[in-house]
Amino acid sequence: MDMWKFFDITHREHILCNPMSLEKLDQLITLLRLKPGARVLEIATGKGEFIIRLAERYRQMTGTGIDFSPYCIAEVRKKHQTRVPDAQLSFLEMDGAEYLPETLESFDLVACIGASWIYGGHRGTLNALYRMATPESWIVVGEPYWRHEPEGEYLQAIGVTRSDFGTHYQNVEVGREHGLEAVYTLVSSQDDWDKYEGLQWYAAETWASDHQNDPDVETVLKRVRENKTAYLRWGRETLGWAIYVFRKGGYGGSK
């Protein structure tokens, strides 16, 4: 089954395609305090809620959003035209790992929230974003973390290894190794997680009911129900998620 179709089905009820609340996202946007003319790059922009809200708040910024999903790119372009039609935003449907700006160190804010797999993990993501960020800039990433040691059955169920994610502390320290200081973190609550996961179950079941003749119905339901079991049995207590706000070029912040 096409992965982007699956993602579109399971996230059709979501505003954000990650376990973060809109209230916390707005708090982040306020803290960033972008200057007029700031250049923003978001890798894996998803439905684009972050970059659209940034443009609503900081009218003089320019922004580029990258995503490989044709469904997401279509939705974010529609949001652009309906919510901030005058904003200087552009969106590219492509693999974020293949995007290279014309000039390195050219963005005042570089973000990749919840898609570090694009660059092979948290460390690779920070390394890639660092090279695209100006000497005085923000680097914002969203990343899972282990609340406690995961059981082997859980790892097998979700198809990851223990080393794929670090602890909350380790995620911060990886930034420090890159010369980045974590100046803030926004940590998803249990309610944030339950909403994110639960909306996927709801979306899949209602979609399947409305599209009973679709050849992918059984695949969607099987995968979502297996994920639901893994979340309720292990993930709810084991896996956390946070947005990490790093500062490049602060006091002592050189790589």
* CATH number of the domain that residue 161 is part of: 3.40.50.150
Q: How confident is the model at residue 151 (pLDDT cuts 50, 70, 90)?
A: very high
What are the Cα distances from residue 188, in Å, to 23, 25, 43, 168, 241? 11, 11, 21, 12, 6
Question: Domain for residue 254, yes or no?
Answer: no
- In whole angstroms, what is the distance from residue 176 CA to residue 181 CA? 6
Residue 173 has pLDDT above 90, yes or no: yes
Domain enclosing residue 186, as ranges: 3-248
With respect to residue 62, please indicate whether it lies within any of the assigned structural domains: yes
Give yes or no for residue 182 having a pLDDT over 60: yes
Confirm whether 183 is domain-assigned: yes
Q: pLDDT value at position 249?
A: 84
pLDDT of the residue at 154:
98
Listed residue (243, 246, 252, 251) closest to 133, CA to CA: 246
Counting every residue written for the chain, the total comes to 255
Mean pLDDT of 30-34: 98
Neighbour-count burial of 88, counting CB atoms closer than 10 A to its CB (0-12 exposed, 13-18 middle, 19+ buried)? middle
Question: What pLDDT is stored for residue 251 in this prediction?
Answer: 58
pTM listed for this prediction: 0.95
- Please give the mean pLDDT across all residues of the chain: 96
pLDDT value of residue 252: 52
Whether 253 is in a domain gets the answer no
* Residues 243/244/249/253 CA torsion (nearest 10 deg): -170
Percentage of the chain lying above the pLDDT 70 cut? 98
Give domain status of residue 146, yes or no: yes
In a domain, 255, yes or no: no
148 lies in some domain: yes
Look up tokens 């997680």; give the residue. 193
186 within some domain: yes
Tell me the average pLDDT across 152-174: 98
The domain tally of the chain equals: 1
